[in-house]
Structure 1
Amino acid sequence: MEAKDLKAQMEYRYMGNTGLKVSIVGFGNMIIQHQGNAQKTTNSIVARCLEYGINYFDTAEFYDEGNAESYLGQAFKELKVPRESVVVSTKLMFGTGSIFNVKTPPPTVVGLSRKHVIEGALRSLRKLQMEYVDIIFGSRFDQYSPLEEICRAFSWLVEKGYALYWGVSEWPIDATVEAIKLCHELNLRAPVVEQAQYSMLSRERFEKEYKPLFDKHGFGATIWSPLASGILTGRYNDGNIPNDSRFNDNPGFKHFVMSQFMNPNNKDKNVKILNDLGALAKELGYTQTQLALAWAMASKDSSSLILGFSKLSYIDENLKAIELYKKWSKEIEQRCEAILGNQPIPSMDYVIFRPNPQRREAAVFGKRPQ
C-alpha cells in the first residue's frame, strides 16, 4: 500500500481531555545515533513520516547523549515544516548523558529541580530551534525534589508559553494523583498526559495502575516500546539475540530489555507466546510486528504509539499495522488474549467517571480498557 493510501487511513486521537489531536503513530528518535549520517537519516525519516500523516514527534534531552533534539529541530528546519502542523514533545530528568552508560553527571543537571526543569527546557528549545514544545514531560519521578517545586516549575513553563502542556512518564500513580491535586489546590497548570511503556508483554502498569489516570482524570497516553524494544518483531522468537541486533552494541540497553522479557523466569513462556503470535499474524496475512502494533492501537487509552524508526523500510512495514487495526475484531482480540494470558484484573472500574466521549465509548469489543 502506498504512503498516500495509508495517510488516508491515519487516525488522529485527542490527547486525553485536551483539544490536542495526535496521530495514532508517532516518531521517537531515541535510537538515532550521532555516528554516521544521523542528520541525513533523521531528515529522510521525518519526511516519510509526514507523508504518512504522522504529526507527533517525540524526543528527550538525554537521547543520543543530548544530540537527538538537535537532529529533530534541524530536520524540521531543512524540510521547511510549518511549526503549527506538528506536535513535538521532549522530556527532562536525566540531563544530556546516557542512562545506559554509567556516568556521574553534575548534580544540577539531573532530576526535576526548578533549576534543571527550567534550564533544561530552555536548552531543549535552543536545540530544537523552537519557541515552544507542545508537551514537556517529567521523565521519571524525582523523589528528592519537593513535589510542589516540580509542579510549580512545569506550570511556569506552560504559563510562559515554553510548553503548551506538561505530563509525566512512568511516575508512581500516587505521585501523579498527588501532583494533580496539588496543582488544582495551588491554581497551577496540572499534568494531562502519561508517557508509558505498553505492549503485549508489558501490560500491568498501563492497564491496572494507571487506569484511574485515564478513566477518572482524563489523561492522554503516549506509548513507548509498543514492540517491547523489538522483542515482538519476530526476530527473537527462538529466544536468542541476532548478530545484527542493536543490543550487541549497547550492553546496558541489552540488560534492560532482556531482564524484563527473557530472564530465566519467563523466557520459555515468552518464547512460546512469540511463536504463537507469529503463527496468528501469518494466518491473518500480516507480520508479527504489525499484529503487535495493531493490538496496542486497539486500546483507546492509547493516544499515540511512539515508534523508533531507524530505516525507511521500517516505516513502511510498521504503518501497515493501521490496516490491520482497521479490521480489528472481537475474534482477533480473543485469539490474542488466549495466546497472551496476561490481562490484568483492574482493582476498580472507573468507567462512570469518564468525562470524554472518546473514553466512554473506548471499551473496544468489551476489552482493553473495560
Structure 2
Amino acid sequence: MQYRRLGSSGLQLSALSFGAWVTFGNQIGRGVARDLIAAAWDNGINFFDNAESYANGAAESMMGDVIADLRLPRDGFCVSSKVFFGAASEPRPTQKGLSRKHVTDACHDALKRLRVDYLDLYYCHRPDPDTPVAETVWAMDALVRQGKVLYWGTSEWPAAQIRDAHKVARAHNLHAPTMEQPQYNLLHRERVELEYAPLYAEFGLGTTTFSPLASGLLTGKHNDGVREDARFGALGPHLRKTIVGTESERRLQRTRKFTALADSLGVAPAPLAIAWCLRNPHVSSVILGASRPEQLLQNLGALELVEQLDEACWHKVRAAAS
C-alpha cells in the first residue's frame, strides 16, 4: 500500500480506501462486511468512509460493529462520517442540513454508531442553501475544539463555497476545511481537474474521491446498456443521473472504447480505471466500494498498474475515455 498526505495536513491516508456506500446495510450481510474490512486492513487500507445517510445509519452501525469485532487499533485507522441528508427515512427539518444543531447531533449519532470517541474526518455532504456557511464553519470548529472531529471538509461543494468557508475561518481564526470528497473518474473529471485546480495550492486542499468506476460503468458490465443491477439500481434515480449524466449513450460509447483498450493491454478495466485516478497528484485517496472480497482484491491491483504502464499507455487511456 502507498500512503499520501491529506492535502497539506499531516494525516497519512492509504492511497486506496474503502467505503460503505450502497453495500453496507443494504446489499451485504455482517459476515461479508467483516471479510471486506479484514481484507482491506490486511492489505494496508487505513481509511474507512461512511455517512449518516448510508442505509439510514445502518451502514455506520455495521461498520462500527465489524471494526470493533476485528479489534483494529484505534490509532491505526481513520473513519469518516458525512452530514447533510439525515439518517431518518423522512427527516424532519432539524434532522437534516448543515445547521449547528444537525451538524452537532449527527456527529454524536455517528460516534455512537461507529463506536468511536472521535471522527477522523467529518464532511458536509452537500452545500445547504438554507444555512449560512459561517454557521456551519463555527459548528465544525466547535467539534474540532471539543476533540470529537480531527479534520472537517466538504463533499461536492462548488469551489466558490469552499472559498467562502475558508474566508470565514480566516476572519475568525477557526479551523478551515481540510478536504473535499468529489466524484472523480474517467467520465467525470471537470470538477477535480479544473474547478478545484486553484484550491490545491491556495488552501492545501486534499481530496478523497469516490466512484472511480462510475458505479460500475467503467467495468464494462453495462456496455450493452445500463442494467438495473444490485449496485446501480440501489442508487436511486437522482444518483443514477449523476453517475451516467444526461448523455448516457455518449458515456457508454466512451466506456466501450475504454474497456476495449484495457483488453488490448491485457488488464482488467476496473483496476485500470482506478489506477488512472491514482495518477492525479491532487488525489489523497481513492475510495473503493466492493460487495465481495475478491472484487476488492482485484481492484487493489491498481497500485501496481500505476507503475507498470508507461506514459504512452496512459495517453491512450485518457484518449479512449474522452
Aligned to 2:218: 232
CA 1:71/1:323 → structure 2, altered by over 3 Å: closer, same or farther?
A: same
The answer to whether structure 1 residue 296 and structure 2 residue 281 are counterparts is: no
The alpha-carbon deviation at position 65 of structure 1 amounts to: 1.1
The alpha-carbon deviation at position 33 of structure 1 amounts to: 4.4
Residue 48 of structure 1 aligns to which amino acid in structure 2?
Answer: A
The alpha-carbon deviation at position 106 of structure 1 amounts to: 0.6
Aligned to 2:87: 96
CA 1:29/1:334 → structure 2, altered by over 3 Å: closer, same or farther?
A: same
Secondary structure at the counterpart of residue 26 of structure 1: strand
CA 1:40/1:12 → structure 2, altered by over 3 Å: closer, same or farther?
A: same
State the TM-score, normalized to the length of structure 2: 0.95
The answer to whether structure 1 residue 246 and structure 2 residue 237 are counterparts is: no
Structure 2 unaligned residues grouped into runs of 5+: none
- Structure 2 matches for 1:1-370, cutoff 5 A? 10-34=1-25, 38-97=29-88, 103=90, 105-241=91-227, 244-248=229-233, 250=234, 253-254=236-237, 256-258=239-241, 260-261=243-244, 263=246, 266-341=247-322
| CA distance in 1: counterparts of 2:61 and 2:24, whole angstroms | 12
CA 1:97/1:20 → structure 2, altered by over 3 Å: closer, same or farther?
A: same
| CA distance in 2: counterparts of 1:209 and 1:37, whole angstroms | 36
The alpha-carbon deviation at position 281 of structure 1 amounts to: 1.0
Secondary structure at the counterpart of residue 180 of structure 2: strand
- Cα deviation code 1:129-175 (max 9, x no counterpart): 11101110111111211221110000111111001110011111111
Residue 282 of structure 2 aligns to which amino acid in structure 1?
Answer: D
The alpha-carbon deviation at position 88 of structure 1 amounts to: 1.0
- Cα deviation code 1:190-242 (max 9, x no counterpart): 11100011000001111111112213211110001111111111101122416
The alpha-carbon deviation at position 108 of structure 1 amounts to: 0.3
Q: CA RMSD in A?
A: 1.7
Quote the sequence identity (%).
Answer: 38
Give yes or no for contact 1:194–1:220 (8 Å, CA) kept in 2: yes
Q: How many residue pairs were aligned? A: 322
CA 1:130/1:304 → structure 2, altered by over 3 Å: closer, same or farther?
A: same
CA 1:270/1:37 → structure 2, altered by over 3 Å: closer, same or farther?
A: closer
Structure 1 unaligned residues grouped into runs of 5+: 1-9, 342-370
Secondary structure at the counterpart of residue 293 of structure 1: helix
